[in-house]
Amino acid sequence: MSLNVYLQKLRVTSVFRANYTHNVGGMAEAAGIYKHVWRPEELGITKASELIEPLRGAIALMKSDPPRFISLNPTNGWGSYDTFLPWLEGYLEACEEHPDATVRASR
């Protein structure tokens, strides 16, 4: 018999990193993904795969009724439907490419 010992360390590597203003929180809420995006830990979300369907649904909803979501554009001009939607699409693409990635949101 023999003994093998290992000291291992996993290197944390970001595969996606993005920032967006909280001023569109109302828009995210109307799309049903506020907590998914800003507070995933409150929903028990830990993996990117868990965000795929909610993001797909929100994107489809936002695309189906642009006037509804445009009306929620922040009055201060920081954030908009026209920039938040592509941001969400990029987030979804990253989740699809890296479904096993750990999700972390910092506010």
Q: What is the pLDDT of residues 2-38, one digit of tens each?
A: 566 665 666 778 899 999 999 999 999 999 999 999 9
Gap between the Cα atoms of 34 and 26, Å rounded: 8
- Please name the helix (run of DSSP H) or strand (run of DSSP E) that holds residue 107, with its range, or none: none
Residue 63, C-beta contacts closer than 8 angstroms, at least 6 positions apart: 85
- What share of the chain in percent tops pLDDT 70? 91
Q: What angle do CA 32, 55, 26 make, to 5 degrees?
A: 35
pLDDT in tens, 77-89: 999 999 999 999 9
Which residue type does 102 have? Answer: T
Band (106; pLDDT cuts 50, 70, 90)? confident
- The whole-chain average pLDDT of the chain stands at 92
Gap between the Cα atoms of 60 and 70, Å rounded: 15
* Average pLDDT estimate for 66-83: 97
Gap between the Cα atoms of 48 and 14, Å rounded: 12
Candidates 80, 91, 102, 94; CA nearest to 19 is 91
Cβ distance 30 to 82 under 8 Å? Answer: no
User: What is the model's pTM?
Assistant: 0.89
